[in-house]
Amino acid sequence: MTIDRALCVLIERSELAFVADFFEVARSRFPRPHQARLAIAGGMAYFVAPDLPMNKAACLGIDRDVSDADIDRLTAFYTQRDAPARIVVSEISDPTLAPRLEARGYRPMHDQYGLIGELRDMDGYYDERVRPSRDIRAWALAATEAWTGVDPSAPDAHLVGECLGYAPVRSRWRSCSKGR
């Protein structure tokens, strides 16, 4: 398998397509005030609901430069919604993006890495205790608690997992965030 820029762009765009699907499910099934998306610098920014990990911007600067005006618009997009701006900065993003974000007070949160491999070359294990379920709400609450640490009795706790459950499957990386 050849790992080149084209494959990296495909992976980045696939991640963004997943977030787009999540956004569309949330908007149609769980409408909330201020839900919005913003096309910016060749990528997209999404806001679904307060405190969700899916509120983020990705694919910025993959195929074009990111201007200071783009960063201003992106910051304002999240500030207007009283939400932290989570911006995924990829190794293939505009190389000036991360340092300019840091100069404006954004701080790296964590690194994410996509692992690529031929599935036919990998061994796997099926856990017999795992059973399929059609109860998306139950799965959503369990997944949300495990993934985000949110108390499953909290308002909207099910939203992340339930949107993941309903989103079509279509289908780094460095993330920067500026807190509230």
User: What pLDDT sits at residue 18?
Assistant: 82
How far, in Å, CA of 72 to CA of 107, rounded?
Answer: 16
CA 31 to chain centre: 19
Positions of the chain with pLDDT lower than 70, given as ranges:
1-2, 111-127, 129-180
What is the tens place of the pLDDT at every residue in 111-148?
Answer: 665 555 555 555 666 567 666 666 666 666 666 666 55
Q: Is residue 147 part of a domain?
A: no
How far, in Å, CA of 100 to CA of 122, rounded?
Answer: 40
Q: What is the CATH number of the domain that holds 19?
A: 3.40.630
User: What pLDDT sits at residue 178?
Assistant: 47
Q: Is residue 151 part of a domain?
A: no
45 with 37: CB under 8 angstroms? yes
How far, in Å, CA of 46 to CA of 37, rounded?
Answer: 4
Q: Is residue 158 part of a domain?
A: no
Q: Is residue 68 part of a domain?
A: yes
Residue with tokens 């398998």: 1
CA-to-CA separations, 56 to 42, 122, 155, in angstroms, rounded: 14, 32, 21
How far, in Å, CA of 87 to CA of 91, rounded?
Answer: 13
35 with 47: CB under 8 angstroms? yes
Q: Is residue 161 part of a domain?
A: no
How far, in Å, CA of 25 to CA of 19, rounded?
Answer: 10
Q: Is residue 27 part of a domain?
A: yes
The sign of the dihedral angle between the CA atoms of 43, 48, 49, 53 is: negative
58 with 88: CB under 8 angstroms? yes
* Residue in 17, 66, 20, 53 with CA at minimum distance from that of residue 175: 53
Give the type of residue at 26. A
Distant-in-sequence, close-in-space partners of 61: CB < 8 Å, separation ≥ 6: 41, 42, 43, 93, 94, 97
Q: Is residue 81 part of a domain?
A: yes
User: What pLDDT sits at residue 40?
Assistant: 96
Q: Is residue 88 part of a domain?
A: yes
- What is the total count of domains within the chain? 1
pTM above 0.95, yes or no: no
Range of the domain at 53: 5-121+170-178
